[in-house]
Amino acid sequence: MEYVVSIMRYIAPAAALFILFTCIVSLFRNRPRVHQLARLVDQNNGSVEEITHWETSIGKVKSNDIVLPLPSVSRFHAVIAKRRRDWVVFDTSARTVGVLVNGERIEGRAVIENGDIITIGSIDLKFECDEALSPKSKKQLRAQTANTQSPTVAYGVLVDINTKRPVYIKKQDVLIGRGADCDIKINSDTVSAHHARIHSTSKGWAVSDLDSHNGTKLNGRYINQPQLIFDEDMLTFGDKVFIFYDK
């Protein structure tokens, strides 16, 4: 019995250390990644503020997500938030100076898109987000696509928001990725060989991620199961952003 007790004196601490080590490894392995959704670039000094939440408050006091300690900035001056498909800036300043977008003062709120200049107090901030496109810009892009010659059979079209190049969906089940066997091939290191698929269902079109390395996003949100997609939805594969237009 004494022999067993002696052995346990050594085994118990070792087992405890092993369990602790396993818990620590699991904690770090499974901790959530912080994804940059957008960013604000100060046009005066080039400094960058990352937006990592769906709602980001901006103001002079430290309780804001982004702090701008200047006399021209209100305590709680503005909020930038994602609302369904759009990014929106809200004026919460309760001051005469308000919030300006591209030099024009907003009335309460305004939809913003990639490249817009948001003026808060005396600071001009450039909003950068490839996935931010206003409804007006989406309609303009649709009109440009309509002027291009499309295949005889096309169920829908994906338009690259950077190149404006249309990619037509010619089948009811389309494989998307970097691989040579893909129906829609995307040449980018951020895109997996077999990244995603767009397929027809009884309820309409859907997108599925194929366990890709960098994930698939629908309107800026990562998906982990098939999701229905609709006209003017935004799809992101790796770092490539497309707008889906249903023919």
Q: In order of start, what are the domains of the chain with their CATH numbers?
A: 38-128 (2.60.200.20), 135-246 (2.60.200.20)
Look at residue 17 and give its three-state secondary structure.
helix
Max alpha carbon distance in the chain (Å)? Answer: 89
Res 20: pLDDT: 55
Are the C-beta atoms of 91 and 99 separated by less than 8 Å? yes
The token duo for 74 is 């209100």
Bin 45: left if φ > 0, else alpha if -120 < ψ < 50, else beta: alpha
Query: Do 159 and 201 form a contact (C-beta atoms < 8 A)?
Result: no
pLDDT below 50 — which residues of the chain?
4, 27-33
CA distance 128 to 116: 8
Q: What are phi and psi of 27, to 5 degrees?
A: -60, -45
**143, 92, 113, 154: which is closest to 241 by C-alpha?**
113
Collapsing DSSP to helix, strand or coil, 12 comes out as helix
Q: How far is CA 204 from the centre of its chain?
A: 24
